[in-house]
Amino acid sequence: MMETEITNNHLKEVIKDITEFLEKEEEPPFEILYKLICELKVSNLLLPAFEDGDTLNYQSIEMEETEDTFLPLFTDIEEFNKHDIADGYHPMPLDFEDYVEMVLEDDDCDGIFINPEGNFLPLERDFLTDLDFDENAPEEAEEPYTAEELKEIFDSVSNESLVEFIRSDSNTDFEKLFVELSDSTLINPLIYDTSLDDKTEDGIINIGDGEGFGICAVEDPNGISLVTIFTDINAMNDMDLNEDVTYCGQITVLSAMFDYVLKNDMDGVIINQNTDDYIIPRDALLQQAGGVELIADESKFINAVDYAFLM
């Protein structure tokens, strides 16, 4: 039995909800259909395929009644292993957008069929054609902050207005929250398992390709996984530290962090773990996948992902 780390638990839940409506011959509510589209846009699904040089060979399925041909995709290896996979085909993970492109470029393919042996969901060509994957156009970049300027910002951020908001009675108003986040500069811990000898100067770490560094996350006993971000150094120092892990810090590019949470099937973000424990749930972040600009990142932080700082 083959293994992969791909999961799409949130997508599977939405498919299950939609299936229940369809089985009762009822139209799923708009809110569920919108959530489906958003989850699809951040999904990474498995295709039975193999590469032969520059050619991607993949398995397809044909509907007996209509003779329509579909691309079979799977949310995880468990669903993949339920299907009758031809010899030589392996689970290949690709973004959903890549699969849509494959279907639309193949006149003989009529759509996508997700989890054909489980809670299945067929998506026909017309539906895929109407999906919009265009991201919001980035604002014209200003001169980006230097590494030294980023370190100075990292050491001094306080975000007093944001802290006041997340401690207020109105802190469940996510529209107001995202306005606050747009005016804030947050920081996040990174864990690393690589030598910093040739990467560090004056407390500044040049991450390069990011190899050896990972986003810090927490998971509660119920399996809820959250990325940790903080309003200031003191709050970050109050987090639960694992003595077996080495940490450094980084300025958070929120749009990239939200994308990371969504595309890695996580449940949200937690601000100031161990003090405020303020959670932004996945459903609030999911609007970003639907094309809503939740926060406006300052373009001068475009290089922030390339640097970290000793703690």
If we measure between CA atoms, which residue out of 248, 172, 178 comes closest to residue 210?
A: 248
Q: Smallest Cα–Cα separation from 116: which of 50, 59, 34, 31?
A: 59
Give the pTM: 0.90
- In the chain, count H helices and then E strands: 11, 17
CA 76 centroid distance within chain = 16
Q: What is the DSSP string of 146-182?
A: PHHHHHHHHHH---HHHHHHHTSTTTT-HHHHHHHHH
pLDDT higher at 54 or 285: 285
CA distances from 235 to 156, 200, 273, 308 (A): 12, 24, 8, 17
Segment 244-249 mean pLDDT: 88
- The answer to whether the Cα torsion of 218, 220, 221, 224 is positive or negative is negative
Question: What are the φ/ψ torsions at residue 297 (nearest 5 degrees)?
Answer: -70, 135
Among 242-251, 266-275, 295-304, the range of highest mean pLDDT: 266-275
pLDDT in tens, 124-139: 999 999 998 866 555 5
Across residues 13-30, what is the average pLDDT?
94
Token pair for residue 127? 């539906």
